Amino acid sequence: MGFPMSIVAPKERKHLSADALFHLVRSGFATIPDPRCDDVDISLTDALMSAFAMFSLKAPSLLAFDKERAEGNLHTIYGIERVPCDTHMREILDPVSPKVLRPVFKSIVRQLQRGKALEAMAFLDGHYLLALDGTGYFSSTTIHCASCLHKVHRNGSVTYSHQMLGAAIIHPDMRAVIPLMPEPIGKHDGTDKNDCERNAAKRFLIKLRQDHPHLKFIVTEDSLSSNAPHIETLHNHALHYILGVKEGDHAFLFQQVQAAEHAGRVTYYERHDRAAGLVHRFRFVNDVPLNASNVDVRVNFIEYWEMSKDKVQHFSWVTDLRVSRRNVFHLMRGGRARWKIENETFNTLKNQGYNFEHNYGHGTQNLSVVFATVMMLAFLVDQTQQLCCALFQAVWAKLGSKRLLWERMRALFYDYALMSMCQLFEALLYGFKKSSPLVAIDSS
């Protein structure tokens, strides 16, 4: 209305601004009990918030963060009273159990629901697509801790590593993803055996249902997950699925599809996209057994070819959703969107400024897992901005890349005394000399 250069943010989205979310994260940290005795110089809240600020600012290392502590802005923008030095931050965070961070993830997802931002991510009849996948982020032959996975080689040497099961709400048409609290894959209290992705998935699904008992999900995973016990677990948690399958790993299933084809039960369907020069070809059949030893586990099968002038891409999935000509195209898009957990989540964390594979400090107990989890939390806050904050979107569009956005953000953060993240983004968008108000809240 009155501000030709301004961005008018919808009223219900003001709780989803960077400043509001930093405040929410800090209040979440403040409820975590400090395992140390009372007379501590730096609070656990400040130590956790400092780690969060380090990842939020995309500091390349803990030492770099320590060198440029910019105390003033860390206090005004991130609400940190005292910033610990690098050694002290590691000491405070090493004994912290990563699971205490779960409620903070949950409260941000709640905020997204409240702002009606999550609704926009719904994929099918109010169901959200939830992609799950494991990834490694640390490996060493020398550095290790109590929660490292061990791999003993033939010559007796050992490789230590950390992995996690990542989870993100995705949508085929949206670049932003909503990561949930990841499940660490590592050694657990009192056990000697190495953990594995399948056990991590079992733990993850139990906690998913505790945190979000009423959210409707369609889980999407790669072909390693297409086995009867896992499908049963998904079913027991009232979760739908679209899971990859491979002819080499699921020979019985593909034989059954062939038999169904001979019996005339298989449907072929084709859709031509002339503008894109693509032909989408499907064959599908409902209600076939997954494998010979679990014939009572029945699935619906989709095979898909995307054909262009010089390339054919081939995919296949099983799902519990009944497949028809009406929905097969949409289900295919859901199955293909799974790559977003690899590309838009893990690759972004590894290559787009977050330094997921950098060792910020390993500790002897939990430090490595705590850092990885807090980094995922910072990523969740950033993705929420990307999805909901018009100001963030405008700055990103202006600068053209996240890498440049983070670089400019850090430069301003370290060089100027700022009141808020909003002020920082406004400065990036309009330059410092322009006068406010630049962002108004729609009060209609």
Binding region for Zn ion (CB under 5 A)? 145, 148, 368
Nearer CB in complex with Zn ion: 185/253: 185
DSSP state of 127: B
Give the three-class secondary structure for 276: coil
Provide, rounded to whole angstroms, the least separation between the CB of residue 2 and Zn ion: 56
Q: Half-sphere exposure of residue 399, counting CA atoms within 13 Å on the CB side?
A: 21
Is the separation of the CB atoms in 138 and 349 below 8 Å?
A: no
List of E strands, 110-189: 128-140, 149-152, 158-171, 174-179, 183-185
- Which CB atom, from 368 or from 385, has the smaller least distance to Zn ion? 368
Are 321 and 305 spatial neighbours (Cβ–Cβ below 8 Å)? no
The residue type of 196 is: C
What tokens were used for 102? 């779960």
18 or 148: CB nearest Zn ion: 148
* Shortest distance (Å) from residue 140 CB to Zn ion: 8
Q: Residue 317 and residue 301: Cα distance in Å, rounded? A: 6
Q: Which is nearer to Zn ion, 148 or 219 (CB)?
A: 148
Measured from the CB of residue 203, what is the shortest distance to Zn ion in angstroms? Answer: 18
**Least distance from C-beta 137 to Zn ion, angstroms?**
11
Residue (176 or 372) nearer to Zn ion, CB = 372
CB-nearer residue toward Zn ion: 135 or 368? 368
Q: How many CB atoms lie within 10 A of CB 317?
A: 26
Nearest-approach distance from CB 265 to Zn ion, in angstroms: 51
Rounded CA-CA distance 340/419 in Å is 35
Residues 381, 49: Cα–Cα separation, whole Å: 13
Does residue 407 contact residue 132 with C-beta atoms inside 8 Å?
A: no
Q: What is the DSSP letter of 172?
A: T
- Minimum distance, C-beta of residue 8 to Zn ion, in the bound complex (Å): 48
Residues contacting 334, CB < 8 A, separation 6+: 123, 124, 129, 172, 218, 220, 242
Write the DSSP string, 192-211.
-SPP-HHHHHHHHHHHHHHH
Is the CB of 369 or the CB of 429 nearer to Zn ion? Answer: 369
Tokens of 133: 């996948």
Residue from 366, 384, 367 nearest 421 by CA: 384
SS3 percent helix, strand, coil of the chain, rounded to 5, is 45, 20, 35
Least distance in Å: CB of 144 to Zn ion?
Answer: 5
How far apart are CB 143 and Zn ion at their closest, in Å? 7
Give the shortest CB-328-to-Zn ion separation in angstroms: 44
Q: Which is nearer to Zn ion, 130 or 145 (CB)?
A: 145
CA 135 from centre of chain: 12
Question: Which SS3 state, helix, strand or coil, does residue 162 take?
Answer: strand
Cβ proximity to Zn ion: between 136 and 289 the closer is 136
Contact in structure between 44 and 29 (CB atoms under 8 Å): yes
Name residues whose C-beta falls within 8 Å of residue 361's C-beta, 6 or more positions apart in sequence. 62, 86, 89, 90, 367, 368, 371
CB of 246 to Zn ion, least distance (A): 32
Nearer to Zn ion, 196 or 312 (CB): 196
Q: Which residue's CB is nearer to Zn ion, number 144 or number 280?
A: 144
The distance of closest approach from Cβ of residue 342 to Zn ion in the complex, given in angstroms and rounded to an integer, is 23
Q: Could you give the C-alpha distances from 100 to 147, 300, 369, in angstroms and in order?
A: 16, 39, 12
